[in-house]
Amino acid sequence: MTRIPFFKLHGARNDFLLTWAEDAPAHSLADIAVAICDRHAGVGADGWMLVDRTPGDGFDASTRLFNSDGSEPEISGNGTRCAAALLAREDASRTEFRIRTGAGVKHLRLLSREGEHFEFEMNMGAPRVVELHATVQGRDAVLLDVGNPQCVFPVWNFDFDWLAVGAATERDPRFPNRTNVSFVRQVDDRTIDVRFWERGAGQTNSSGTGSTGAAAAVLARGTVSTPVLVRTPADTLVIRSEREVLFLTGPAELIAEGAYYSLIAVPK
C-alpha cells in the first residue's frame, strides 16, 4: 500500500487533486491518476496534478497533469491556477508566479486572497487559429490551439445532446491526439455561455483553456469585443485581449487535504 498525500482544490468547480512531486511515487502515475480521481472508489476529481517546487531557468515551479482517464494533457488553465494557489499558501509574500507546464511557462498574478479562496490573472499566450470555418461532425466549428487543441462549436442553444456530440468530436478521426470541445452560445457583444467536454475527463463544470478557446473563437470571428465574460455552469471567467495575447481571470480554492492509500503495485 502506498500513501499519497494530496490537496483538493477547484477552479470554478473544475476540481483537481494536487500532490507535491517529492511525495508522489516514481512509477504507475497514470494508473494512480485513474484510481485517485474515481468519484466512488477514490477521492474524486477531474485530474491529478504533481507540483514540483524546484525552480529553473525562467520558472519557479513545474506541473505535470493527468486526466481522470490517465491521459496526460499539455495544460489546464484552471488546474494551473490551483497550483499557483498552493504555491501562494507556501509564501504569502509572493504575488507573481511562473509555472512551467507542458504548454510552456505560464505567468500568473495574484489579484486577491480571502482565506483559502484566491483570484488570479493568468497569461494564456496568443491562441493559434487552425481553421476559422471548419466542419466537424457536420457542424460549423472553429479549430484552435491554446496550448492544447480546442474545437469550438457556435450554437443557438443547448437543447440537443451536446454531450454525445462532444464525446464523438473528442475522438473524431481528424484529431489523432483527440481534442477538447466547447459549445458557445453568444449572449451579447461581450458575453458568451459555454458548455465543455474535456479530452480525457468528459463533461466538466468549467475549463480554463476551454474558456480561452471559446473566447478566442468568437474574437477571431469578430462577433464579440474584449473583455469577454465567459459564463460556465459553475462561474463566470473573464478573458481580456492585449496585443493578441489572452489573459484569463478566475478563482482557485483549497477545499480539503489528506492522504490517499493506493493499492496499485509501485516498483521500488
Residues 6+ apart with CB under 8 A from 99: 59, 60, 61, 62, 63, 80, 83, 84, 87, 105, 106, 108
pTM: 0.95
Residue with cell 480554463: 208
From CA 77, how far away is CA 101, in angstroms rounded? 10
- Whether cis (ω within 30° of 0) applies to the bond prior to 227 is yes
- pLDDT tens for the 268 residues of the chain, in order: 899 999 999 999 999 999 999 999 989 999 999 999 999 999 999 999 999 999 999 999 999 999 999 999 999 999 999 999 999 999 999 999 999 999 999 999 999 999 999 999 999 999 999 999 999 999 999 999 999 999 999 999 999 999 999 999 999 999 999 999 999 999 999 999 999 999 999 999 999 999 999 999 999 999 999 999 999 999 999 999 999 999 999 999 999 999 999 888 666 5
Residue ranges per domain, the chain? Answer: 2-124+252-262, 127-243
Q: Which three cell numbers stand for residue 103?
A: 504548454
pLDDT at 1: 86
Q: Are strands 228-231 and 191-198 parallel, antiparallel or unpaired?
A: parallel
Q: What angle do CA 44, 74, 84 make, to 5 degrees?
A: 65
pLDDT at 266: 64
* H/E stretch holding 240: strand 236-242
Q: What's the CATH superfamily of 127-243?
A: Diaminopimelate Epimerase; Chain A, domain 1 (3.10.310.10)
Distances (CA, A) of 262 to 6, 13, 114: 12, 25, 33
From CA 15, how far away is CA 13, in angstroms rounded? 6
Q: Are 253 and 118 in contact (CB under 8 A)?
A: yes
> Are 2-124+252-262 and 127-243 equal in CATH topology?
yes
CATH of 2-124+252-262, one of 3.20.20.70, 3.40.30.10, 3.10.310.10, 3.30.1330.60: 3.10.310.10
Neighbours of 245 (CB within 10 A): 12
Residues 6+ apart with CB under 8 A from 101: 62, 63, 65, 74, 75, 80, 147
Closest CA to 254 of 135, 130, 82: 82
Residue 180: phi, psi to the nearest 5? -80, 150
Q: Are 218 and 252 in contact (CB under 8 A)?
A: no
Q: Give one word for 22, left, alpha or beta, with left for phi > 0 and alpha for psi -120 to 50.
A: alpha
